[in-house]
């Protein structure tokens, strides 16, 4: 499986079971549904998920230690435009 480098791009999306994981610059979006079953398939999926989460913790901890981690990410507010179809 290809590696997802947390917060590095807006491109990468991976699926583990029916869980979708999208890399964004300001977040890792995870949604869907996942059963980590007590069997070989469950172990396989846990092994995919675990390093990904470990990388997120490592990266965010480092930012926090450097004082670079905000309380909350800032979103860019959408603008307002005239509806070209109205």
- Least distance between other proteins and beta carbon 47 (Å): 14
Cα separation, 34 vs 56, whole angstroms? 19
- Least distance between other proteins and beta carbon 38 (Å): 15
Residue nearer to other proteins on the CB measure, 13 or 69: 13
Cα separation, 34 vs 18, whole angstroms? 6
- Which residues are near other proteins by CB under 8 A? 1-2, 9-16, 18, 22, 24-26, 29, 31-33, 73-76, 78-86
- ∠ CA(55), CA(24), CA(84), 5° rounding? 175
């Amino acid at each position: 499986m290809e590696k997802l480098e947390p917060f590095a791009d807006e491109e990468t999306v991976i699926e583990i079971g029916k869980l979708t994981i999208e890399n964004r610059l300001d977040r890792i979006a995870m949604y869907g549904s996942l059963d980590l079953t007590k069997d070989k398939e469950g172990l396989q999926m846990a092994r995919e998920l675990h390093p990904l989460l470990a990388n997120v913790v490592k990266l965010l901890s480092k930012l926090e230690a450097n004082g670079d981690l905000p309380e909350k990410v800032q979103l860019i507010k959408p603008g307002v435009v005239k509806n070209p179809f109205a």
